[in-house]
Amino acid sequence: MKYYLIAGEASGDLHAGNLLRALLRIDPLAQVRAWGGDAVAAAGADLRRHYRDHAIMGLGQVLTKLPTILGNFRFCKQDILDFAPDALILVDYSGFNLRIARWAKSQNIRVFYYISPQVWATRARRVHAIKKYVEAMFVILPFEEAFYAKYNYKVHFVGHPLLDAIEQYHATQSPESQALFWENSQLQPDAPILALLPGSRRQEIRAMLPAMLQAAANAQTQIPNLQIATAAAPALAADFYTPFLEKFPSVRLLHAQTYALLSHARAALVTSGTATLETALFGVPQLVCYRTSWLFYLLVRWLIRVPFISLVNLLLQRAAVPEMLQNDCAAAPLTAQLLPLLDDSPQRAAQLADYAQLRQLLGNTGASQRTAQLLFDLLQKPPANS
């Protein structure tokens, strides 16, 4: 069969790549075109557009890049029509994908969605569009089944794909790969490491990284042997980080080594997003950071209908990890909250205990394989909502 897959960011690309590998094990003669990134391409797709070429954040960028956005929609629609897929597989990236879903349904193309838009957090009315245009939704958070059931829409809970990605990482580790990490990173295995995960988009890195770096430097004055490493976004070159790091020469910038960094980190400062859950699954105590313009922040707080911004707290339904928002996402407050996490403190022990419960909530590994099998089986039948 022929599949067209769309993933718009680094995390979506990772999960889309693993889904594609699972799908090709079931359907080895499949033809696949995709919008995504390196992971999707490595899995075997004909990559038509890379997500780094159309990453947009915030209303300002939407307005200034409107001609580019419209051009992307035109190109994508025509490319789908030219390819004539048996299935369109959308991965997260709701701003683009829900519009494509509506158009694809009008073209009688079967539409499947992997990793639900966060409709439970904001703009719940999007559920009605999903019911109308998406034949099957594969969700990765345990509470999403109950949420969609309130709207009389049955979804498939497949488990969280991060469990697969992290298990796959651990399976590939060896003494040689560990030695290579220490050599390439120039970090030392006998001293604590503070990981900085400032995000994958330019705007959020500009907003978060300066405060993270200063807080890390402050902590280093209290813990002289503390090592600091920043995880670089896959789509950004090293020179993007130079203006931020030039005042902090001891900070290491690591490319394509986020999981290796987390596997050795003592604590982390993490921009809100998927990385908060990754950090928790690696068992690293963290502070969740988020900062934007006050106008945008007030708009977001007005729209969002959930009490937390981090997936860790949303899943546990309590403030298991501190969320450092706006004025709290500054060097002094971050430093005060960070130091106990680097020590053998009750705060550190509490987070580690919460992480054990979180891991149980997420279910078993195998999300990619379950999703691929469900998708393939559904394609053997007539469309459910035709």
Do 31 and 75 reside in the same domain of the chain? yes
Any domain includes 146? yes
Please tell me the predicted confidence (pLDDT) of residue 271.
96
Query: What is 85-116 written as a DSSP string?
Result: -SEEEEES-HHHHHHHHHHHHHTT--EEEES-
Are 98 and 335 spatial neighbours (Cβ–Cβ below 8 Å)? no
Please tell me the predicted confidence (pLDDT) of residue 68.
74
Which candidate, 113, 110, 38, 39, places its Cα nearest to that of 80? 110
CATH number for the domain harbouring residue 116:
3.40.50.2000
Q: Which two tokens stand for residue 29?
A: 């003669």
* Backbone φ, ψ for residue 113 (5° rounding): -125, 125
Do 174 and 241 reside in the same domain of the chain? yes
Please tell me the predicted confidence (pLDDT) of residue 58.
45
Any domain includes 385? no
| Terminal C-alpha separation, the chain | 20
Residue-level pLDDT, tens digit, the chain, 386 residues: 999 999 988 889 999 999 999 999 999 999 999 999 999 999 999 999 998 776 544 444 555 566 777 888 999 999 999 999 999 999 999 989 999 999 999 999 999 999 999 999 888 899 999 999 999 999 999 999 999 999 999 999 999 999 999 999 999 999 999 999 999 999 999 999 999 999 988 999 999 999 999 999 999 999 999 999 999 998 899 999 999 999 999 999 999 999 999 999 999 999 998 999 999 999 999 999 999 876 766 766 666 767 799 999 999 999 999 999 999 999 999 999 999 999 999 999 999 999 999 999 998 899 999 999 999 999 999 987 65
Do 54 and 199 reside in the same domain of the chain? no
Query: Could you give the number of structural domains in the chain?
Result: 2
Q: How far apart are CA 256 and CA 273, in angstroms?
A: 18
Any domain includes 386? no
Any domain includes 384? no
Do 128 and 26 reside in the same domain of the chain? yes
Burial (0-12, 13-18, 19+ Cβ within 10 Å), 189: exposed
| 3-state secondary structure string across 162-203 | HHHHHHHHHHCCCHHHHHHHHHHHCCCCCCCEEEEECCCCHH
Burial (0-12, 13-18, 19+ Cβ within 10 Å), 51: buried
Are 158 and 370 spatial neighbours (Cβ–Cβ below 8 Å)? yes
Do 136 and 72 reside in the same domain of the chain? yes
Q: Which two tokens stand for residue 71?
A: 């051009």
Q: pTM for this structure? A: 0.87
Q: How far apart are CA 336 and CA 40, in angstroms?
A: 41
Do 37 and 125 reside in the same domain of the chain? yes
- Strand partners of residue 254: 231
Quote the domain boundaries for residue 20: 2-159+366-379
Do 169 and 313 reside in the same domain of the chain? yes
Are 13 and 36 spatial neighbours (Cβ–Cβ below 8 Å)? yes
Q: How far apart are CA 308 and CA 310, in angstroms?
A: 6
Q: How far apart are CA 117 and CA 91, in angstroms?
A: 9
Which candidate, 48, 41, 32, 33, places its Cα nearest to that of 14? 41
Do 249 and 289 reside in the same domain of the chain? yes
Please tell me the predicted confidence (pLDDT) of residue 297.
64
Any domain includes 182? yes
Are 6 and 76 spatial neighbours (Cβ–Cβ below 8 Å)? yes
Do 238 and 289 reside in the same domain of the chain? yes
Any domain includes 153? yes
Any domain includes 64? yes
Q: How far apart are CA 334 and CA 129, in angstroms?
A: 40
Please tell me the predicted confidence (pLDDT) of residue 59.
44
Do 173 and 281 reside in the same domain of the chain? yes
Please tell me the predicted confidence (pLDDT) of residue 183.
96
Do 43 and 155 reside in the same domain of the chain? yes
Any domain includes 53? yes
Q: What is the DSSP letter of 3?
A: E
Q: Which two tokens stand for residue 283?
A: 């068992």
Do 190 and 58 reside in the same domain of the chain? no
